[in-house]
Structure 1
């Protein structure tokens, strides 16, 4: 079981590496790792388990965050329209994105960042992601608003990018041009 002890914190070089693509079908070891990542996210949202194992709640986890520089991510969340997303993906890739931007009004957080980083993180309002799920099937997801933000955050980890890299250093609380808050999309 993955706990907060296995979560790599900012400053660790693995978080700045571009993760490698996996040969598919995934090895048994990689498959098991991705299943454990998804279970960690689910556990982190279960009040009883989170308290028992001292887990910080999260909605997504990328393999570099547990020290593995491979293109794998897991998400488990419900968007603002009550649509649930719960999956692990191998080799996820953003295939297209909107010009329009979005952001979370309260900013973003990260399991690998133990401090509060105030600021607006501009993201694409709509994206199309392709990847291979835990069942070995290729999936194509059209995502918008909050779901698009979560996937962009995790895919950024696979490219060595932290959420705060996107914050405007001169005016951190300024919403991006041509944007709406995710809550309104």
Structure 2
């Protein structure tokens, strides 16, 4: 089980957090299969208030392998339902070797800015991302998926893919004017 102590922080030296992660080959090794399970398990437990408190976890909707110091293009994403009558997640999968194959011109951003399990401080500012993307990735069985995502799930997946490329959310914040966003940006949350 992944705990907060296992998650690499952006101010730690000697980690793979800022490296471009290696592509994953199939079939997955037993170690890679376990990593995929552990990443998703963290998200599931962290989104359960009682269990998160019990294990001292910060809630998350995404966790990438480099955040646990493994240089592999693998991330778990679990965007919970926003429908009170249907608790089916909006998006839930372990995305392996993900590639954004198309993106909207329209940008989107979270009103409150973004956070990250690897960043222990609040960093103010808008993080402009593409509002809609088409994502191509492989699942743990090696099957290829192509999905269209918009709004919050698109933002989450772009955040996780950034981790696989050694990029952190605050790298996207305008240094001169953190609350400046491209014209026409749609805000969520």
Is the shorter-chain TM-score for this pair beyond 0.5, marking a shared fold?
yes
Higher mean displacement: 135-144 or 48-57: 135-144
- Following the alignment from structure 1 to structure 2, what is the Cα–Cα distance between the partners of residues 145 and 180? 8
Tell me which residue corresponds to 2:117: 111
CA distance in 1, matches of 2:174, 2:81: 26
Query: Which shows bigger deviation, 72-81 or 86-95?
Result: 72-81
Q: Secondary structure at the match of 1:8?
A: coil
Please name the residue that 2:6 is paired with: 6
Aligned residues: 183
Stretches of 4+ aligned residues off by more than 4 angstroms = 79-83
> Which of the residues 51, 61, 65 maps onto 1:49?
51
Q: State how far apart, in whole Å, the 2-side matches of 1:80 and 1:168 are.
A: 30
Contact 1:125 1:182 in 2 (8 A): no
Counterpart residue number, 1:20: 22
Q: How does 1:165-176 map to 2 (within 5 A)?
A: 165-176=171-182
Between structures 1 and 2, the one with greater helix share: 1
**Residue in 1 aligned with 2:61?**
59
By how many angstroms is 1:53 displaced?
0.6
Question: CA-atom RMSD, angstroms?
Answer: 1.5
Unaligned runs of 5+ in 2: none
Aligned-pair CA distance for 1:80: 5.4
Aligned residue for 1:168, secondary structure, equals coil
CA shift, 1:100, in A, is 1.0
Q: Partners in 1 of 2:157 and 2:110 — Cα distance?
A: 13
Alpha-carbon offset, residue 93 of structure 1:
1.1
How far apart in 2 are the matches of 1:118 and 1:156? 18
8 Å Cα contact 2:27-2:141 kept in structure 1? no
CA offsets per residue over residues 99-146 of structure 1, 9 Å max, x none? 110100100000000000010000001111111112332111101110
Give the 3-state SS of the residue equivalent to 2:58 in structure 1.
coil
Q: For structure 1, which runs of at least 5 residues remain unmatched after alignment?
A: none
